[in-house]
Amino acid sequence: MKKQTLIYGMIALMGIFILTGCEKEEEQMKEVSDMTIAEYATSDANFSILVQALTKADLVNVLNGTGSFTVFAPTNAAFTALFNELGISGIDALTKETLTPILLYHVLGTEAKSSMITTGYYNTLSPAQGSTLSLKVDVSSGVKLNKTTNVTAADVDVKNGVIHVIDKVLLPPTVVDIALANDAFSILVQAVVKANLVNALSATGPFTIFAPTNDAFQALFTALGVSGIADLTAAQLTPILTYHVVSGNVLSTQLQAGNVPTLNGSSLSIAVSPSPTINGSTGIIATDVQGSNGVIHVINKVLLP
């Protein structure tokens, strides 16, 4: 009897511990769900540098406010790596004007939990060229942003949105950076490098790039009877590549039928109906991938002058 009483007592005690643990866990979850994004970041020591940056950029009230945001939040380690890369000591070395577009590039204007995120481009709140910067998300193997940044913890559910923790600070991309971050443009990147156009297309711009995919380049190689970019010279590539570039940041809503001059000196013939095409046979298959110095529209064929 004494033994049974002891066993029952231990079971009851374990039940109390389990119940207490569950209650504490529920209480902690409730506390987090009652916090805003800014309040949660302030409560977690791993985000102390992010909080410093938000404060300096006057963005705390934005992330304390009403709305439904998604924030990809870099840890202190991510910021420290950025400081080492830039050769600076910390947030004090960056101005409000520099920090603001960087921080807003980590924020989406709608809530996107991990179950809602698919591979593709997402519009951030970071302004650029009359539009907002695009963020590349890939969910094929974990969740990666712009090819090199990992989501290390997802779905911190707070009052005004959701937080995903990331291991690297995202920097506003140029059109060249956007191409580098998308494997579908790897041959285009090889061509731009070989033609010595990287610096030109990383400049202030703005530029509108009609970007051929790898499949488009492979079709060109077959038509030319060559194996790849290695068989083409810089002199051959330059007029082809500059024929894909138009001056200005022309969004899909601003495309008009007619002839448009390119940096090559020749013009493209644009049709918008019944579907957007260039020179009669090249389809525009994706639009408005926005970089800091221009916009990319994806095409399914390499344009030849």
pLDDT band at 141 (very low <50, low <70, confident <90, very high): confident
Report residue 163 as tokens.
């937080």
Report residue 199 as tokens.
């610096």
Q: In angstroms, how far is CA 187 from the centroid of its own chain? A: 21
* Phi, psi of 111, deg, nearest 5: -80, 125
pLDDT of residue 16: 44
DSSP-derived pairing of the beta strands 245-247 and 258-261: unpaired
In single-letter form, the type of residue at position 271 comes to A
- Stretch 272-296: mean pLDDT: 95
ω into residue 206 within 30 of 0, thus cis?
yes
- Stretch 133-152: mean pLDDT: 96
DSSP 227: -
- Stretch 194-209: mean pLDDT: 97
pLDDT band at 21 (very low <50, low <70, confident <90, very high): low
What structural domains and CATH numbers belong to the chain?
33-166 (2.30.180.10), 175-299 (2.30.180.10)
Dump pLDDT digits (tens) for 87-133.
Answer: 999 999 999 999 999 999 999 999 999 999 999 999 999 999 999 99
Asked if 101 and 126 touch (Cβ cutoff 8 Å), the reply is yes
- Stretch 16-21: mean pLDDT: 47
pLDDT of residue 6: 44
Residue 257 to residues 241, 242, 272, 275, 300, Cα–Cα distance (Å) = 22, 20, 6, 11, 19
Q: Is the pTM of this model over 0.75?
A: yes
